[in-house]
Structure 1
């Protein structure tokens, strides 16, 4: 039995057909048949039941149980190769969400430069949701993420870099007084991030909770454009203070009796990732970069 046997079995369980599986790998059908026999001999159980038509099959209970383990074995093999390649290349692939990166990177840039880490970091810029998937799939070594919930995943470790808040924001040209009521939001025109952003998801949760139907006139994935439109008094918006805290011409709009979740800025990496001196130093630099 070898690693190929697990790969053949995984694909056979998906395609349910010996010929299609052999075609996928560019091998003969007997190769797949002998591979399955090796697995059944190794574990002493029947893994598939052959159907009476078109060379097809279905997994037995034992086959389904083995498949769960095979999926993990193949994934771990892929992650091991990714981690070892990182060590060989002396590169660290880091995920950088735009809003968090623009807030945090200026604070840590000099330290990264002084330690000669800028050339050793391969940057991948995307949203937090997409970066988390890339991290879990082994295509990233470490990532900054923004989230309202701390990860509960045994495969992940994280450090809380900063805890920020969500704010309703408007141009400083507007006068809202000390605060407004939720009902006042019905009179406003909103400029929001698109549906894939954590900001939009939190916005929907609180408008659903408080039964407020906002008038959304424009959506964008470009948060710099969003902030410029708000500064120009084209509408109000909802975004984490991470994006707006350093912006001139913008004010927070305080809303009475409005409860919102925290916005966690995290540095996340896989539990099995070996923390080399460089890796640990990068974690320390980003962690210290947001200290008050």
Structure 2
């Protein structure tokens, strides 16, 4: 016979824990009851069941307090409840995905609109199970793939190859950064300029968190562009609109601009590069359907690679 207590562990009610989590965050029985469309006594009874099972007070409701608060035991239960409910939600989603054979593919709007139609050829009846995960930042999408939240994605990056053991990379194409100006800008008639010719110009670039911004900052440091000559925009459309209506110079790769634009492209001598690749997490345990989808996308990417490289060769 084991020498530890034979008393069964508390079998806490999942709904009671759900009520408790909201109560711990709102510190209001009324708000909790209204949120779940139940009576206030229902919340009180749920709390009492938890306190009885745990043999501990979870809420300090002394009248001398301005507002009730969690006891130390309540803090512990709140933390554990949050973790349990998060795990349960993730598990439910994973089971649903397994049942529906949901397929995941990460992309960025600017890059995805250019390449997704080709890289999703032949998906066929699997299209109804496809879930596209959209993210504005390549850095954020890379992290999602790295952390196994997304199995594969198409992203932009500033170094040619990744030194990451969990990431497989299939290069797709590379673009030079260029300067983009309004048709009335003094540079609009130039085919190419060097950094020294635009030292005193005002530049507009994407804000922090974008790969484009990191590349731009590296270029400005190398060419000693004054920080006072740099402004930021959070959205690509805003950046283009400002460049179109002012004498500011937009620093972008062609992939951001799109095939139709009122802006004039001016090539930049010794321009930095913007690389685009398909990345795959090689450690993630995929469903059979997801793995077959990954293999299909990888095969298509490799087939299209030469064409994209040819499109970007200097003419």
Superposed CA deviations along residues 127-154 of structure 1, whole A, max 9, x for unmatched, are 248986xx89xxx9666364769xxxxx
State how far apart, in whole Å, the 2-side matches of 1:49 and 1:33 are: 13
> Are 1:176 and 2:192 counterparts?
yes
Shift of 1:13: 0.9
Residues 260-279 of structure 1: pairs in structure 2 closer than 5 A? 266=279, 275-279=286-290
SS in 1 for 2:57: coil
Aligned to 1:144, the other structure's residue is in SS state strand
Residue 219 of structure 1: how far off its partner (Å): 8.0
| CA displacement at 1:58 relative to structure 2 | 0.6
Q: Give the Å deviation of 1:266.
A: 4.1
Distance 1:219 1:43 in 2: 50
Label 1:24 to 1:166 Cα distance change in 2 as closer, same or farther (>3 A).
same
Identify the residue that residue 284 of structure 1 maps to in structure 2: 295
Post-superposition offset of 1:254: 3.9
Q: Determine if contact 2:58/2:71 at 8 Å carries over to the other structure.
A: yes
Between the aligned partners of 1:12 and 1:218, the Cα distance in structure 2 is 40
Number of residue pairs matched by the alignment: 264
TM-score with structure 1 length normalisation? 0.65
| Residue-by-residue CA offset, 1:139-190 (whole Å, 9 max, x unaligned) | x9666364769xxxxxxx865454877853136963436xx34x54434454
Q: Tell me what 1:96 maps to.
A: 107
Distance 2:139 2:191 in 1: 38
Equivalent residue for 2:252, pick from 224, 239, 250: 239
Give 1:102 shift: 2.8
Change (3 A) 1:109 1:29: closer
Conserved? CA contact 2:155–2:278, under 8 Å: yes
1:109 aligns with 2:120: yes
Residue number in structure 1 paired with 2:153: 144
Unaligned residue ranges in structure 2 (runs of 5+) = 1-11, 159-165, 181-187, 306-315
Matched residue, 2:210: 198
Judging changes above 3 Å, is the alpha-carbon distance between structure 1 residues 21 and 276 closer, same or farther for their aligned structure 2 residues? same
2:52 aligned with 1:41, yes or no?
A: yes
2: distance between equivalents of 1:42 and 1:148? 53
Unaligned ranges ≥5, structure 1:
150-156
Cα distance in 2 for residues equivalent to 1:42 and 1:208: 63
Considering only CA atoms, is the larger Rg found in Structure 1 or Structure 2?
2
After TM superposition, the structure 1 = structure 2 runs for residues 63-102 of structure 1, keeping only pairs within 5 Å, are 63-92=74-103, 94-102=105-113
How many Å apart are 1:11 and its aligned residue? 0.7
Q: What secondary structure sits across from 2:177 in the alignment?
A: strand
What is the TM-score when the length of structure 2 is the normalising length? Answer: 0.61
